[in-house]
Amino acid sequence: MSIFSTMYRAGAPLLIALLALPALADEPGGLVTGSFGDQPLELTVAPELSGATVIGNYADVSLLAAQMEGDLGPVNLELVINGELPAPSEVALTITFARDMGRNWSGDQDSLTLTLDEFTPGDGIVALKGTLTGQVSGGPASETRPVTFSFDTRLDELD
């Protein structure tokens, strides 16, 4: 057996794995990272509960992300974007803390600023990347807290 055939056999699985990477990158999902007040959060997008509908420049996006571990317990974040791009008329953010039912927080286009870095539909997937900053209100004492979230996601394009 020559050294080249050994290298070929050893490298074949690596080559197959590398060729599969673009296919994995096309799968729905992604991350939302940022902070709620002074608490850092890193949430994983739930692809089966997120999606986007695009008609021309009009977009209707619903994104649900969750963080299951950490001091805050299970945390859900829901982001809704609706309207003509690049400046949609509706932006809504809801953050829910599962351990404390009174700790729900929300904000909308009046208290949040959305910056879209990428919104690219194609082949049944919508690439969505951007930043959301501003304030949310709620909690047990009806407080206001600052939020900053960056998202890098791929969503199913819905009919």
pLDDT of residue 16: 43
CA distance 121 to 125: 6
Distance CA 90, CA 157 (A): 19
Report CA torsion sign: 136, 139, 145, 151: negative
Is the CB of residue 120 less than 8 Å from the CB of residue 129?
Answer: no
Q: Establish how many alpha carbons lie within 13 A of residue 71's alpha carbon, considering only the half-sphere containing its beta carbon.
A: 4
Q: What is the per-residue pLDDT for 25?
A: 53
pLDDT in single tens digits along all 159 residues of the chain: 454 444 444 444 443 444 444 444 578 999 999 999 999 999 999 999 999 999 999 999 999 999 988 777 799 999 999 999 888 999 999 999 887 666 799 999 999 999 999 999 999 999 999 999 999 999 888 899 999 999 999 999 997
* Burial of 72: CB neighbours in 10 Å, binned 0-12, 13-18, 19+: middle
Q: What is the pLDDT of residue 144?
A: 95
* Contact status, residue 134 vs residue 35, Cβ threshold 8 Å: no
Residue 127 phi, psi (nearest 5): -85, 125
pTM greater than 0.75 (yes/no): yes
pLDDT given for residue 69 in this prediction:
82
How far apart CA 40 and CA 150 sit, in angstroms, is 12
The radius of gyration of the chain from alpha carbons, rounded to an integer in Å, stands at 20
Phi, psi of 75 (to 5 degrees): -130, 135
Query: How high is the pLDDT of residue 14?
Result: 41
